[in-house]
């Protein structure tokens, strides 16, 4: 009898897994192909490799910083003094290259491994966020929103945006379910993947006041671990880059070479609002500014006792993630950073009626086509 029950359970598990693969995994993996085919009529000829027909080459999704990450995965960090700056690949954090290298050892090419990590991360982040918003949107809908929202191309290209998003959301979900040690690990890894994840320390802070976590983790020490982990992860990344390259402050000096440094706050935003019709990148930044206001209003409008801490978490994460690059300077660091705002926009947008979501999607698709073209032709860094 027990054996028969076990067989039935295994059969049900396999059936559930098959349904999940066909209903969630396959549609999400197909999304990048749809992304290219929508944008392909506007791509034109250029020096970069492009997907051709159904033969989607992983190399087609490599642009600009992707090559730095791949060089780190293949050769490690290397740098040399370059005047007052540092030249090399020390301006990029290590986790994404490490994960790429891990999958490359399984037999994948380095570019295939990068794309695999990105798509797997997109799948994970879509599933987790769908759970956080209590399935108001399915994982496939969440993934589609990630791609259509400003900066969406970076969620499927060989950049650490999807990996960072997956780790950020994992840290939130694990903290919310009282797995504080695992949440701390996820937050630490997120900061190893992308420097902006240091803001998780701010985003997770509301959970310090959570009273519903299990008694075994109610001590202040365990609660602080996930909040402090992103800061440790950030400085651990910086220390590792210095150690691997043999140059002190290699990360900062490399970033400064590209003009990424503290500057006049919100100068790009002011230009974007004033001249949004002149430049698609300005249009995206101006659109994101409007979205931030609308998303904040939506979250506050639906604030309740049951979702207060999670809502505050997303508000803090969204606004911190939006403000930070506006103090760093150029439009490059801003429009790529805007891709990390997708979870906040999805969280807020999940409260909207479906018809309104469809209506808003129309201009987003138009912007998506323009920005995707800029990415594929190499104009979007």
User: Are the C-beta atoms of 340 and 200 separated by less than 8 Å?
Assistant: no
In the structure, what pLDDT confidence band is assigned to residue 183 with cuts at 50, 70 and 90? very high
What's the rounded Cα separation, in Å, for the pair 158 and 122?
12
Question: The pTM is what?
Answer: 0.88
Share of the chain above pLDDT 70, in %: 81
Q: Say if 82 falls within a structural domain.
A: yes
Average pLDDT for residues 166-194, to the nearest whole number? Answer: 92
Q: Say if 274 falls within a structural domain.
A: yes
Q: Say if 267 falls within a structural domain.
A: yes
What's the rounded Cα separation, in Å, for the pair 103 and 239?
25
pLDDT at 307 over 50: yes
What's the rounded Cα separation, in Å, for the pair 242 and 245?
5
The residue with greater pLDDT, 372 or 133, is 133
Residues 3-34 have pLDDT tens digits of 666 666 777 777 777 887 888 788 888 877 77
Q: Which two tokens stand for residue 339?
A: 């891709």
- Assign 3-class secondary structure to 26-94: HHHHHHHHHHHHHHHHHCCCCCCCCCECCECCHHHHCCCHHHHHHHHHHHCCCEEEECCEEEECCCCCC
**Count of CA atoms in the C-beta half-sphere (13 A) of 137:** 29
Q: Which of 97-106, 253-262, 348-357, 358-367 has the lowest mean pLDDT?
A: 253-262
Q: Say if 381 falls within a structural domain.
A: no
What's the rounded Cα separation, in Å, for the pair 134 and 168?
18
pLDDT at 45 over 50: no
For residue 269, report the phi and psi dihedrals to the nearest 5 degrees.
Answer: -65, -45
Residues 70-123 have pLDDT tens digits of 989 888 888 888 778 878 888 889 999 999 999 988 888 888 888 889 999 999
CB proximity list for 122: less than 8 A, separation 6 or greater:
28, 31, 143, 146, 155, 156, 162, 166
Q: Say if 29 falls within a structural domain.
A: yes
Q: Which domain does 75 fall in, by range?
A: 9-48+59-376
* SS3 state of residue 178: coil
pLDDT at 263 over 80: no
Task: Round the average pLDDT of the chain to a whole number and report it.
Answer: 81
What's the rounded Cα separation, in Å, for the pair 142 and 140?
5
In the structure, what pLDDT confidence band is assigned to residue 261 with cuts at 50, 70 and 90? low
Q: Say if 3 falls within a structural domain.
A: no
Q: Say if 1 falls within a structural domain.
A: no
How many domains is the chain built from?
Answer: 1
What is residue 47's predicted lDDT score, i.e. its pLDDT? 45
353: left (phi over 0), alpha (psi -120 to 50) or beta: beta
Residue 359: how many other CB atoms lie within 10 Å: 11
Residue 323 host element (H or E):
helix 308-323
> Rounded to an integer, what is the distance from CA 25 to the centroid of its chain?
18
Q: Which two tokens stand for residue 216?
A: 């075994």
User: Highest-confidence range of 1-10, 84-93, 262-271, 294-303, by mean pLDDT?
Assistant: 294-303
Q: Say if 54 falls within a structural domain.
A: no
């Amino acid at each position: 009898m027990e054996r028969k029950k076990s067989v039935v359970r295994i059969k049900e598990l396999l059936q559930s897994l098959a349904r999940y693969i066909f209903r969630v995994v396959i549609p999400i993996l197909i999304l990048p192909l749809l992304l290219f085919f929508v944008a392909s009529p506007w791509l034109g000829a250029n020096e970069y490799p492009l997907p051709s027909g159904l033969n989607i080459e992983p190399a087609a999704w490599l642009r600009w910083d992707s090559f730095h990450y791949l060089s780190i995965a293949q050769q490690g960090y290397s740098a040399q003094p370059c005047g007052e700056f540092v030249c090399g690949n020390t301006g990029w954090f290590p986790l994404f290259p490490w994960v790429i290298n891990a999958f490359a050892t399984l037999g994948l090419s380095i570019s295939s491994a990068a794309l695999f990590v990105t798509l797997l991360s997109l799948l994970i982040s879509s599933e987790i966020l769908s759970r956080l918003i209590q399935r108001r949107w399915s994982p496939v809908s969440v993934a589609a929103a990630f791609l259509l929202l400003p900066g969406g191309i970076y969620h499927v290209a060989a950049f650490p945006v999807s990996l960072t998003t997956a780790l950020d959301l994992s840290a939130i979900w694990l903290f919310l379910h009282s797995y504080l040690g695992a949440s701390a690990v996820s937050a630490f890894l997120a900061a190893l993947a992308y420097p902006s994840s240091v803001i998780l320390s701010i985003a997770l802070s509301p959970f310090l006041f959570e009273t519903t976590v299990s008694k075994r983790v109610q001590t202040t020490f365990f609660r602080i671990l996930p909040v402090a982990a992103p800061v440790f992860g950030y400085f651990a990344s910086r220390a590792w880059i210095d150690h691997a390259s043999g140059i002190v402050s290699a990360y900062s000096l490399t970033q400064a070479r590209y003009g990424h440094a503290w500057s006049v706050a919100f100068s790009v935003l002011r230009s974007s609002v004033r001249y949004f019709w002149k430049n698609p990148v300005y249009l995206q930044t101006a659109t994101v500014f409007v979205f931030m206001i609308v998303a904040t209003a939506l979250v506050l409008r639906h604030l309740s006792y049951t979702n207060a801490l999670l809502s505050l978490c997303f508000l803090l994460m969204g606004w911190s993630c939006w403000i930070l690059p506006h103090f760093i300077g150029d439009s490059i660091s801003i429009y790529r950073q805007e891709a990390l705002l997708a979870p906040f926009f999805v969280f807020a947008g999940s409260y909207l009626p479906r018809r309104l979501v469809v209506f808003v999607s129309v201009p987003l698709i138009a912007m998506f086509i323009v920005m995707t073209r800029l990415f594929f032709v190499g104009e979007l860094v």
